[in-house]
Chains A and B, each alone.
Chain A
Amino acid sequence: MVLNLDTENRKMQDGNNDDDFDLEVKIPNSIFEKLKSIEALKARESQMCVSGKDDSIPTCDKNSTPGMITQRSCVYGGARVVLMPITDAVHLVHGPIGCAACTWDIRGSKSTGDKLYKNGFSTDLQEKDIVFGGEKKLYESILEVNKLYHPGAIFVYSTCVVGLIGDDLKAVCRQAQEATGCRVIPVQSEGFKSFNKTAGHKLACDAMLDYVIGTEEPEEEHPYSINIIGEFNVAGDLWGIIPLYEKMGVKVHTAITGDSTVAKVASAHRSKLNIVQCQKSSNYLASQMEKKYGIPSIKVNFFGLDETTKSLRAVAEFFGDEEMIKRTEELIKSEIKNLRDEISEYKKDLSGRTVAIYSGAHKSWALVSAFGELDMEIIMSGTQNGKPEDYQQIRDHVCEGTLIVDDASSMELVQLLKEYKPDILISGAKEKYLSLKSGIPHCDFNHDRITAFSGYQGFINFARVVHTAVMTPIWRLSRK
């Protein structure tokens, strides 16, 4: 079933009337024609495509065009978001003050214990440091923060400036580690290293692989212990997942890196299985841990009822324990007992509504199944950092006729939203206000989200948030 997008504003004007909703199959041509009608997008036609048209995916994984308002971030930013949730570590940014000032505590990763990670540390490089080098300043700063906080580790991030002036981050970290006895870990995340912040994700994983994982032994070795990789506990997502596994009899040793500590990450190599949530940032880490420590991994998805169920079953099947498999089935049964009813309440209003996603590459396809459970359809999905395999994933998940977009600038996004008029946009904070200003309801699915969306209860939360965004009477008022 494909929707007719030409019936403009069909839902906006009248929130409850489904009668004018045309289900005639007209796509994909009309989507494509609209795309062509947006003049400014012509130069970027190759970075967009419509699924079902042919087998192509958008041209991607290339430099952003200079002078555009790309939604992309830098390599430092990529490394920072992966490591930041380690709660008892100092995250010291070696660079001018802005790199730390703009990023400390921007990620809504929650903690059950330490709050140290919520502080912002910088070496605040000044002109004279640029001329004479910042190594001494870095060394002193490490000694200071160690004395003040006695952290589990000190991650030292290099920024553009450090790459240019050539400070020897590794050497300074080594010296400082000897002097302090605290782990001091260099993260070579010069911002300009790549156009794609995914390079930063990889650097962060490398820092953990080289300096943390495998350096401590766990307190106990549980026969069914797992690590949840690529789960950052934004808005407390993790707390919707851990209890489910614990009830199955599986011990979640740690997430990497949500609500984790240095010691937990350091002893993660003894776990029996890695389950990988954000496959964009963390597949690499899982495969390296498999190579190094022989830990197998499976890909999971805790977004949506079916995906969550699959993810629980996959772990039970992996361990193959009959008792556990039985417990898991009982757990699933009891968990989703009343949820379908709750969802159908939301579904009444949401059914047939259309969705646009512009977010991290993992989310651009991992949300598709869950939207199906709400009877909503994705008409546009895109990401700023997609690689060919990500777009392949989108193609494999979405319906025919879905527009797939790579690295859209803010202007292009506004134009696409105005032309396609989805009923909701799923994205982060930068796109949030573009969306609202264009009259499109918005659901935050990024760092500063305040509601947990993972697991069974999380999906009910999500359905409620989407329902609220779409049904709020504001959108009737704004059209006057």
Chain B
Amino acid sequence: MSELNVIKKERTAVINPIVTCQPLGAMYAVSGIERGMPLVHGSQGCSTFVRYGFARHFREPADIAVTSLHEDAAVFGGRKNLISGLGNLAARFKPDVMGVVTTCSSEIIGDDVAGFIKTAKVEIAKKMGEEAASKIKIVQINTPSFVEHQFKGYDNAIKAIVDTLAEPKDEENGKLNIIPGIVNPGDIREIKHMLSLMGVEGILLTDTSDPFDSPLRPSKADKNPYYQKGGTPLADIQDCANSLGTISLANYASSAPASLEKKYNMPSKVSEAPIGIQNTDSFIRTVKKFTGNDVTDEILDERGIVIDAMADVASRYLFGRKVAIYGDPSITVGMARFVAELGMIPKVVCTGVKNEYFVNDLKKVAKESDEDIDALFGQDLRALDVYLKENPVDLMIGSSDGRLMAKDLGIPLYRVGYPVYDRVGYQRRPIIGYNGALNLVDGITNTILDKYYETQDWKLQQ
């Protein structure tokens, strides 16, 4: 009988974190709205370091505004900063949506963010006129940095966006709401691709694919202000109250589906990321259930191509290889299930969060794969390092932050998740869906070949 061995953190200090704080998740979510602008209510570093991180990972500019809180705000509150911040942002950038993202400092000083937003709306209307002002929506997103992590911040943001902006009508729009989680542009494009193969129209809550992977072309857009094209249009977000249902592809993003279900009696399904065959099958089935649309031949062919690729390599190069996976709780569980499908052993799965769903999902993987899995729960990369010294594996799967450790341990690292800054293209290539699985099969196998085989050996030609 296979078991999940949960190892909890026994140290106080965090050493080499694999999580960051709530505001990052919220900034990511708001960036997926067309002409949407995150406004961080906090110190300049809170926006600057996230912008820097996004730039490093996505290799794209990331526009995130900040209210620049300083010592006087710490004493007298951030009222002035937030109200004038909203006013300035509205006047200069004319966004469709401004997402006010709080931080530890604005939460602790107890700013009445809701009240300030109300005042700001009046001010903006005075300055820009009622009509122009009414076009700019303001979403309040509470993301205290000292509670949970970026995944909770993402969840809070999507819920706030939906709760503030959704406008119910009497009839259904026939669309499906999809919450992609904190994933890459390639993943979101793959979700849209799968939906289109099933003839389903989706509303992505939210769609960061184009804003974080945009073409370099002579700009035909307005000079002032300049926005990357893409993102979910405000009208679509407003329309999400009239959809057939909501699917969240990240277990941590469950609040918005619950809220939509409660308010509009809309069915919802929250799952781990559709990584690998079984998880993608389950996603496709859910889409079918919600929409009534059939699974098309094209989708079955795409599935068949991955299975074919797996058959080519799985037993020859991958079977029995031990894998360590770390990072995002939803993605790591999906990856664990997929490497098990490939015949590899998900020996250890490490995440920085302490949410119970992670343990429950991983238990299922252990049971299905008939392998004992060690779960590092609420841990950091140092804990994984210590573990791997005692229990070596053949492959590591996770973000670039584990690169030095992987090098020291002599274990090859296949890069997945956020952040990946020392390789190119990972943000463009999906890991989600059948095409994502295909990428993973190729990438993982090539990594194994590089490390454990003489690549010039004639036997590889077979």
Interface residues of chain A, those whose CB is within 8 Å of chain B, are 38-40, 63-77, 92, 95-106, 115, 118-127, 129-130, 137, 140-141, 144-145, 148, 159-161, 163-165, 191-195, 197, 410-411, 414-415, 418, 429-430, 432-434, 436-439, 448, 478-479
Q: List 9 A-B contacts (CB under 8 A).
A: A67-B87, A67-B92, A71-B48, A163-B74, A164-B74, A192-B69, A195-B44, A437-B60, A438-B219
A144-B49 contact given A68-B88, A411-B226, A418-B223, CB 8 Å threshold: no
Q: Does B52 contact A106, Cβ atoms closer than 8 Å? A: yes
Q: Does B46 contact A74, Cβ atoms closer than 8 Å? A: yes
A130 to chain B minimum Cβ distance, whole angstroms, is 5
Q: Which A residues are CB-close (under 8 A) to B145?
A: 96-98, 161
Within 8 Å by CB of A439, from B52, B59, B92, B218, lies B218
Within 8 Å by CB of A433, from B55, B73, B109, lies B55
Beta-carbon contacts of B123-160 to A below 8 Å, as 1s and 0s?
A: 00000000000000000000011110110000000000
Within 8 Å by CB of B48, from A129, A430, A448, A479, lies A430
Query: Is B443 part of the contact surface with A, judged by Cβ < 8 Å?
Result: no
Beta-carbon contacts of B42-75 to A below 8 Å, as 1s and 0s?
A: 1111111111110110011111111111110110
A226 to chain B minimum Cβ distance, whole angstroms, is 32
Within 8 Å by CB of B17, from A63, A65, A71, A100, lies A100
Among A125, A137, A429, A438, the most chain B Cβ lie within 10 Å of the Cβ of A429
A72 to B43, CA, bound (A): 10
Q: Which B residues are CB-close (under 8 A) to A144?
A: 11-13
Q: Which B residues are CB-close (under 8 A) to A130?
A: 104, 108, 146
Q: Does A164 contact B52, Cβ atoms closer than 8 Å? A: no
Q: Which A residues are CB-close (under 8 A) to B147?
A: 126-127
A105 to B56, CA, bound (A): 13
Q: Which B residues are CB-close (under 8 A) to A121?
A: 13-15
Number of interface residues of B (CB under 8 A): 78
Q: Does B45 contact A124, Cβ atoms closer than 8 Å? A: no
A1 to B185, CA, bound (A): 47
A5 to chain B minimum Cβ distance, whole angstroms, is 17
Among B61, B67, B93, B214, the most chain A Cβ lie within 10 Å of the Cβ of B61
Q: Does B108 contact A104, Cβ atoms closer than 8 Å? A: no
Q: Which A residues are CB-close (under 8 A) to B24?
A: 98, 102
Q: Does B61 contact A434, Cβ atoms closer than 8 Å? A: yes
A165 to B144, CA, bound (A): 14
Q: Does B84 contact A66, Cβ atoms closer than 8 Å? A: yes
Among A38, A121, A418, the most chain B Cβ lie within 10 Å of the Cβ of A121
Q: Which A residues are CB-close (under 8 A) to B146?
A: 96, 125-127, 129-130, 161
A99-B19 contact given A66-B81, A67-B65, A127-B146, CB 8 Å threshold: no
Within 8 Å by CB of A101, from B19, B60, B85, lies B19
B77 to chain A minimum Cβ distance, whole angstroms, is 12
Among A120, A122, A164, A197, the most chain B Cβ lie within 10 Å of the Cβ of A120
Q: Does A40 contact B224, Cβ atoms closer than 8 Å? A: yes
Q: Does B104 contact A160, Cβ atoms closer than 8 Å? A: yes
B255 to chain A minimum Cβ distance, whole angstroms, is 18
A66-B13 contact given A118-B404, A192-B105, CB 8 Å threshold: no
A439 to B217, CA, bound (A): 8
Q: Does B216 contact A192, Cβ atoms closer than 8 Å? A: no
Q: Does A76 contact B63, Cβ atoms closer than 8 Å? A: no
Q: Which B residues are CB-close (under 8 A) to A429?
A: 52, 55-56
A479 to B84, CA, bound (A): 39
Q: Does B44 contact A70, Cβ atoms closer than 8 Å? A: yes
Q: Which B residues are CB-close (under 8 A) to A414?
A: 226
Q: Does A64 contact B44, Cβ atoms closer than 8 Å? A: yes
A120-B17 contact given A68-B88, A191-B43, A478-B218, CB 8 Å threshold: yes
Which residue of chain A is the closest to B43 with respect to CB atoms?
Answer: A191
A102 to B413, CA, bound (A): 21
Q: Does B105 contact A164, Cβ atoms closer than 8 Å? A: yes
A101-B65 contact given A191-B43, A192-B70, CB 8 Å threshold: no
Q: Which A residues are CB-close (under 8 A) to B89?
A: 67-68
Q: Does B14 contact A124, Cβ atoms closer than 8 Å? A: yes
Q: Which A residues are CB-close (under 8 A) to B42?
A: 160, 192
Among A72, A105, A124, A126, the most chain B Cβ lie within 10 Å of the Cβ of A124
Q: Which A residues are CB-close (under 8 A) to B56?
A: 429, 448
Among B49, B401, B404, the most chain A Cβ lie within 10 Å of the Cβ of B49
